Amino acid sequence: MKEQFLSSSVERERDYERQYEYLVLTVGPDDSLPEARRRLVEHSEYGKWELERSRLYMGGGRRFWLRRRIISVQRTA
């Protein structure tokens, strides 16, 4: 199982108004699917990630794209 963060400069055509950061979770065909589900649940509950897309490949591999909104803090003082 492999996790990869995509930089915040990555923009999708429908995300031009909002900025998101992306996390890609790649699960090989030999990896445990319950373990991958557990990781997805942990990321969504504790890291505030949401599942944007999932893909099942011909060899049995899976790839999940998670995203979360980048919160820009503005100084008030």
pLDDT digits (tens, 9 = 90+) for 2-52: 777 775 554 555 555 668 889 999 999 999 889 999 999 999 899 889 999
Torsion of CA 14, 71, 63, 5, to 10 degrees: 120
Long-range Cβ pairs for the range 7-14 (8 Å, 24+): 8/70
Domain layout of the chain by residue ranges: 2-10+17-69
pTM (2 d.p.): 0.73
The amino acid at 67: R
